[in-house]
Structure 1
């Protein structure tokens, strides 16, 4: 038969074991809560750092975009200036061509002597050929100048954009 002492001792032993188990569980839950609090603080710090870095990156991106837009606007202004200058150069070339044509036409108006007139007529043809050659050369030079201006402006804009990114 089981005595009350044995039951009491078993109950005491169970009570002590339950107290140890309760203390262990309390310590474990306290430790878990402490770690969770530390992780929450660390996560909040990470989120704050993330938000600050994102704001800094957005600010830098906006600064670069504004600088690139400024480079583009400057390139457009330079292209416009080059186009206006090209138009002025084309007009000057046309005036030069008109003068050369007038001089070529006037080269044939010589004296009444037939030999001089024949030479004047040959001189007129040569002057017209030279006038035409001058017009073609001037037109080609204008095309090359415009292409050079466009390439130079694009190259400078590219260089400016690249230097912004570095």
Structure 2
């Protein structure tokens, strides 16, 4: 026991030195952590500011793209409306052409019946052929008008789509 009493002050001194060294180490770690925390907080603040600036810039771009698309859609709708009006005018003109074809067929049918001394069957066949020809002409003209209206609208929609795509500012060569 006496040996322990002699060693006890040395053990106490070693423990005190160890505690002091640990305190110094812990203080150093705390100071270093605080320095790094300040740097990380500064970095996080700069990142948040950069994010806000980038988001604002991207929103501005997106709004410009949307305005470009809206303008292309409005222009396209104007073209479609004009194509619809043109188709209606063409139908009106075609109606007069069809009326003229009917009138010509009727005149031909009556002149065939009264102007020739053919048998009634031949006269009736000639007038029927004129009526069929007039009917074919009317149907062909109506179908051509319908196809023209469809083609005009398809073209207008295609041009609108192309303008909207061009408004996005995408370079197809850069995507390859």
- Report the Cα offset of residue 152 of structure 1: 1.1
Distance (whole Å) between structure 2 residues aligned to residue 15 and residue 113 of structure 1 = 141
Distance (whole Å) between structure 2 residues aligned to residue 112 and residue 52 of structure 1 = 90
The alignment covers a number of residue pairs equal to 164
Of structures 1 and 2, the one with the larger relative CO (CA 8 A, separation 6+) is: 2
* Contact 2:80 2:156 survives alignment (8 Å): yes
Query: Which residue number corresponds to residue 86 of structure 2?
Result: 85
1:112/1:153 CA distance change after superposition, 3 Å: closer
1:58/1:111 CA distance change after superposition, 3 Å: closer
Query: Which residue number corresponds to residue 46 of structure 2?
Result: 45
CA shift digits 1:59-113 (9 cap, x unpaired): 2222222222222222211111111000000000011111222222223347966
CA shift digits 1:4-44 (9 cap, x unpaired): xx74x665555444333322222111100000011101111
Query: Which residue number corresponds to residue 156 of structure 1?
Result: 159
Consecutive unaligned residues in structure 2, runs of 5 or more: 171-176
Mapping of residues 1-166 of structure 1, within 5 Å: 2=5, 7=9, 13-107=14-108, 108-109=110-111, 114-115=116-117, 124-165=127-168, 166=170
Distance (whole Å) between structure 1 residues aligned to residue 167 and residue 116 of structure 2 = 74
TM-score, structure 2 as length reference: 0.77
* Contact 1:106 1:124 survives alignment (8 Å): no
* Contact 1:82 1:149 survives alignment (8 Å): yes
- Report the Cα offset of residue 121 of structure 1: 6.2
* Contact 1:89 1:142 survives alignment (8 Å): yes
- Report the Cα offset of residue 49 of structure 1: 1.5
3-state DSSP class of the match of 1:115?
Answer: coil
Distance (whole Å) between structure 2 residues aligned to residue 162 and residue 15 of structure 1 = 77
3-state DSSP class of the match of 2:117?
Answer: helix
Over aligned residues, Cα RMSD in angstroms? 3.0
